[in-house]
Chains A and B, each alone.
Chain A
């Protein structure tokens, strides 16, 4: 699979993806993408963790014109999903590009999302 960037997610045999984040035991904070230093406390004790694949919708919109450097289709959904286990809020693409079809707190699941050139990134649906 041609992932958009190394280290953002793992891919299972069936094509299912899982986001890779970090957790600092001393700060008790999760983050994504994975860093070697906790962005909240500066602690260097970050553990690599596989993040929840489900969550709830916290905010959303649709991008109607291609932003700089983006060659995929428009409009596309864009929002924040709060991951169920970690309560971590992740900025993400959304499969749904019509904002009127989404609601606050709606359950969301992580999916792989294909961009031009066979590049794969993550989204929530």
Chain B
């Protein structure tokens, strides 16, 4: 027996002054429950990184749907994916028939301040998150024969896709020239090549059952030692090229669970925290061979980030991974409107972030 996705809901990603985390969660949860026929779910898992104590409970309390176990899950950018894995596992194990999964977030503005870094690292200027992205981007450009122009092209593509996404934060097209003229944050990354931390919520109702839209896999992998630029050990490393990235490990797990391979994927929602991160994901998820990113960008074998990705949507950590899954569900149902990818039946969602938490989710129809 499979795990079926019976309903999805999303609160737009953006900045919403005066709207609380709970408000956004209620919006997404109500929509997902309505699609699923208002089922009696037996457990709830809520992804959030900055929400604080019992934030998931506040959402379900606001709609008088408490009483079952509610677990808030933190796994950095992959929090929502981690919540999904726990829910799917509980259903597959026979513990529950129907589980609600949702994610909520109101991110602080500016560079993310993370309790991950000790105070002395902050004081020494070593907690500069975009600088780590920049170092990784520089290495990728060198190793894959890419240029800043390729980074700009990723932004152009995703912002173009985002035009048709009513839930995206940025819904205007940009040109490569504009991207390259935006403020330099950390060479080679310019401001428009970086996604914006923001606010939003997403929700999914899972039920034991075959048919419909299936959650074929949801797999999390986390921190490995030694990767100096992976989202892992931030200050020490031996040889990051010898270490399999957590994203690849999560993808292997997800492909094995779903019984498919990279060639079977029609659409991908991947972690474009910065433009180079998307290009790195191409090889980590084995959508192309290492170094073939330019070719993949010019002649894509699969559609990547049809939603506009995080570059258009922004990134509310706890909701981000589930927002990707909501997009995949809309796509495989054929309900994605102007951004519909023709014939999409198998979708892969990928998140990676702090703690080297990487999640891969596969949705099929």
CA of A40 to CA of B226, assembled, Å: 7
Give the chain B neighbours of A93 by CB distance below 8 A: 124-126
Give the chain B neighbours of A65 by CB distance below 8 A: 111, 185
- Distance in Å from the Cβ of B243 to the closest Cβ of chain A? 10
Query: What is the 8 Å Cβ interface bit string for chain A, positions 47-80, against chain B (1 contact, 0 not)?
Result: 0000000000011111111111111100010111
Give the chain A neighbours of B233 by CB distance below 8 A: 39
- Distance in Å from the Cβ of A55 to the closest Cβ of chain B? 13
Once A88-B237, A88-B238 are accepted as A-B contacts, the answer to whether A4 and B120 lie under 8 Å apart by CB is yes
Give the chain A neighbours of B134 by CB distance below 8 A: 61
- Distance in Å from the Cβ of A4 to the closest Cβ of chain B? 5
Query: Residue of A at shortest CB range from B120?
Result: A5
B124 near A121 with CB under 8 A, answer yes
Query: Residue of A at shortest CB range from B235?
Result: A91
Query: Residue of A at shortest CB range from B139?
Result: A59
CA of A47 to CA of B229, assembled, Å: 25
B236 near A90 with CB under 8 A, answer yes
B225 near A91 with CB under 8 A, answer no
Once A60-B138, A71-B123 are accepted as A-B contacts, the answer to whether A99 and B228 lie under 8 Å apart by CB is no
Picked from B125, B185, B225, B235, the residue with its CB within 8 Å of the CB of A33 is B235
Query: What is the 8 Å Cβ interface bit string for chain A, positions 77-114, against chain B (1 contact, 0 not)?
Result: 01110000001111101000001000010000000000
A124 at the interface (CB under 8 A from B): no
- Distance in Å from the Cβ of A1 to the closest Cβ of chain B? 15
**Chain A, interface residues (CB within 8 Å), range:** 35 or more
- Distance in Å from the Cβ of A16 to the closest Cβ of chain B? 19
Within 8 A of A (CB), among B237-280: 237-240
CA of A61 to CA of B136, assembled, Å: 10
**Chain B, interface residues (CB within 8 Å), range:** 35 or more
A67 near B235 with CB under 8 A, answer no
Give the chain B neighbours of A30 by CB distance below 8 A: 236, 238
A115 at the interface (CB under 8 A from B): yes
Query: Residue of B at shortest CB range from A99?
Result: B187
Query: Residue of B at shortest CB range from A39?
Result: B225
A78 near B228 with CB under 8 A, answer no
B123 near A4 with CB under 8 A, answer yes
CA of A72 to CA of B121, assembled, Å: 12
Within 8 A of A (CB), among B119-176: 119-120, 122-131, 134-136, 138-139, 142
Give the chain A neighbours of B228 by CB distance below 8 A: 80, 89, 91
B122 near A64 with CB under 8 A, answer no
A64 near B135 with CB under 8 A, answer no
B187 near A61 with CB under 8 A, answer yes
Query: Residue of B at shortest CB range from A38?
Result: B225
B123 near A70 with CB under 8 A, answer yes
Once A61-B135, A61-B186, A78-B135 are accepted as A-B contacts, the answer to whether A67 and B238 lie under 8 Å apart by CB is no
Picked from A69, A79, A89, A99, the residue with its CB within 8 Å of the CB of B127 is A69
Query: Residue of A at shortest CB range from B133?
Result: A61
- Distance in Å from the Cβ of A95 to the closest Cβ of chain B? 13
CA of A5 to CA of B117, assembled, Å: 13
Give the chain B neighbours of A87 by CB distance below 8 A: 238-239
Give the chain B neighbours of A68 by CB distance below 8 A: 110-113, 122, 127
Query: What is the 8 Å Cβ interface bit string for chain A, positions 29-45, against chain B (1 contact, 0 not)?
Result: 11111000001100000
Please name 21 pairs of A and B residues whose Cβ atoms are closer than 8 Å in the assembled complex, sorted by A: A5-B120, A21-B236, A29-B226, A31-B236, A32-B236, A39-B226, A59-B135, A61-B134, A61-B135, A61-B186, A61-B187, A63-B130, A64-B186, A70-B122, A70-B124, A78-B126, A78-B128, A79-B135, A80-B229, A88-B238, A99-B187
User: 11 extra interchain contacts, Cβ-Cβ under 8 A, other than A69-B127, A89-B228?
Assistant: A32-B236, A40-B225, A40-B238, A61-B138, A61-B186, A61-B188, A64-B184, A67-B125, A78-B135, A87-B239, A93-B125
| A interface list, Cβ under 8 A from B | 4-5, 21, 29-33, 39-40, 58-72, 76, 78-80, 87-91, 93, 99, 104, 115, 119, 121
Pairs of residues from A and B, 5 with the lowest C-beta to C-beta distance, nearest first:
A69-B122, A67-B128, A68-B113, A5-B120, A61-B134
